[in-house]
């Protein structure tokens, strides 16, 4: 049997993951079956099972793939120096989240809510997600320290608390965008300005 290239393997794996994301958004994590994913992928059952042994393995892969892709998009934004002002950075992060999550046929923001719920019963998912969000919060804390040194924050500001508030705002945007579906990154930035965050 001819061996397929790494590029083709990656493309096929992504094809299966995209089928899973479509099914998860339509039916939810628990109602979706492997047969649903096989049908939606257009591949044979043997091909799908050669990549993922079961649905739990596929759910974990879907989560790690989406978080990893999002991390790659956000690193240049968070790592930019000089650090953008707070409202500018928040708007930029949220715009990257929108650009990354809105796909043809599904929206990863809505699937994120399913993943958060599932993480409350699945320790592997919770540990994976927790590691991602803690690392992201640490990066936000580094940005807050830069803001404080540049006097964009009060000298007595606790950078750890600023990072926690920023993460809560960012995750809250994901929820609001997924459930109410009427919010944009620019509106969040303008709302912050209305609260007196003018930098």
> In the prediction, which pLDDT does 1 show?
47
Q: Tell me the average confidence (pLDDT) per consecutive run of 10 residues in the chain, 199 residues long.
A: 77 96 94 97 96 95 95 94 91 97 94 95 95 97 94 93 97 97 94 78
Domain span at 171: 6-194
Nearest to 108 by CA among 189, 116, 38: 116
> In the prediction, which pLDDT does 168 show?
97
> In the prediction, which pLDDT does 3 show?
67
Residue 136 in any domain: the answer is: yes
> In the prediction, which pLDDT does 5 show?
82
Based on the structure, what is the number of domains in the chain?
1
Residue 1 in any domain: the answer is: no
Q: Whole-angstrom Cα distance, residue 185 to residue 58?
A: 31
- The torsion region of residue 3 among left (phi > 0), alpha (psi -120 to 50) and beta comes to beta
Residue 158 in any domain: the answer is: yes
> In the prediction, which pLDDT does 199 show?
57
Residue 199 in any domain: the answer is: no
Residue 85 in any domain: the answer is: yes
> In the prediction, which pLDDT does 196 show?
77
* Domain CATH for 100: 1.10.357.10
């Amino acid at each position: 049997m001819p061996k397929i290239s790494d590029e083709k393997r990656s493309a096929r794996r992504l094809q299966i993951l995209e089928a899973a994301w479509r099914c998860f958004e339509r039916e939810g994590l628990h109602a979706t079956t492997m047969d649903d994913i096989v049908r939606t992928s257009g591949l044979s059952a043997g091909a799908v099972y050669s990549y993922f042994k079961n649905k739990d393995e596929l759910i974990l892969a879907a989560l790690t793939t989406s978080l990893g892709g999002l991390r790659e998009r956000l690193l240049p934004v968070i790592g930019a120096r000089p650090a953008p002002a707070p409202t500018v950075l928040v708007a930029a992060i949220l715009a990257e989240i929108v650009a990354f999550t809105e796909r043809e046929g599904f929206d990863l923001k809505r699937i994120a809510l399913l993943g958060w719920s599932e993480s409350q019963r699945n320790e592997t998912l919770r540990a994976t997600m927790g590691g991602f969000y803690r690392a992201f919060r640490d990066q936000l804390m580094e940005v807050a320290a830069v803001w404080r040194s540049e006097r964009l924050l009060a000298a007595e500001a606790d950078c750890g608390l600023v990072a926690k508030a920023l993460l809560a705002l960012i995750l809250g945007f994901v929820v609001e965008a997924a459930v109410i579906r009427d919010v944009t990154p620019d509106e969040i930035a303008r709302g912050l300005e209305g609260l007196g965050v003018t930098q």
